[in-house]
Amino acid sequence: MVSIACRNGHIKESLLTQFNWPVVHFLGLEFDAELRKSAAERFSKIRSCSSEFSFFVFNSDKLDIKEQFDIVFVYHSLHHATEIEKTLEKINRMLKPNGLFILLDYFGPTAFKLSMMYYQLSRSYSVICQKISVRTQKQRNDSRREVFDANHIRSQISGHLRGCSQF
C-alpha cells in the first residue's frame, strides 16, 4: 500500500490495526518532515507491516515511483496538485492491475472564498432570524413551546439568499 500525502499516518494505521487490512508493506509519501517522523513512529508499532516514508512533492518527477501497489490511498491532498491529470497518470502507473485506488478529497472554493461566503451567510442568517416570526401554541399540558412554520422559514431564507453574490 502506498499513501500519497500520508500526514501522520493515523488513518492508515487504523485501517491496518482496527479494520485488519492485510497490508504487509506500506510506503508513506509526505512533504512535511515532522509528519513523516510521526507516521514512522506510529507504524513502527505495527509488527505485521514493514514501512518506509519518503519526501515528495505532487508536481515533481519524485512522484514517479517504479514500484506498483495493490492499494494507492490519497486522502484530502490531491487538490494541492496543479496538474491533476498528470498526477493521476502517475498514480495509475503505481497501481497494480486490478488494484484499488482510494481517493477522498475536496474540490471546491478556496479558503478565502469560503471565509467570505461564510461571512455573508452569517450576516444573512442574523437578518433572517430577525424576520422570522415564531408562533407559540398551547399544548394539552398548558406548557408553551415554540413552533416554527417550515414553509415560512424556507421562503424567508430563499428570498434573502437570492441577494447574496455567487461564488
Asked if 65 and 36 touch (Cβ cutoff 8 Å), the reply is: no
Instruction: Work out the burial of residue 44: count CB atoms within 10 Å of its CB; fewer than 13 is exposed, 13-18 middle, 19 or more buried.
Output: exposed
pTM of the model: 0.62
Per-residue pLDDT band for 158 (boundaries 50, 70, 90) equals: low
**Pairwise CA distance, residues 7 & 13, whole Å:** 11
What are the cell numbers at 117? 461566503
The pLDDT tens digits for 70-89 are 999 999 888 888 888 888 88
pLDDT for residue 36: 94
Residue with cell 509528519: 35
Residue with cell 505532487: 58
**Pairwise CA distance, residues 62 & 125, whole Å:** 47
pLDDT for residue 151: 53
Three-state SS string over the chain comes to CEEECCCCCHHHHHHHHCCCCCCCEEEEECCCHHHHHHHHHHHHCCCCCEEEEECCCCCCHHHCCCCCEEEEEEECCHHHCCCHHHHHHHHHHHEEEEEEEEEECCCCCCHHHHHHHHHHHHHHHHHHHHHCCCEEEECCCCCEEEECCHHHHHHHHHHHHCCCCCC
Residue with cell 461564510: 118
The pLDDT tens digits for 100-147 are 999 998 766 555 566 666 666 666 655 555 554 444 344 444 444 444
The pLDDT tens digits for 6-49 are 999 999 999 999 998 999 999 999 999 999 999 999 999 999 99
Domains of the chain (ranges, CATH numbers)? 2-104 (3.40.50.150), 111-161 (no CATH)
Per-residue pLDDT band for 153 (boundaries 50, 70, 90) equals: low
What are the cell numbers at 83? 496538474
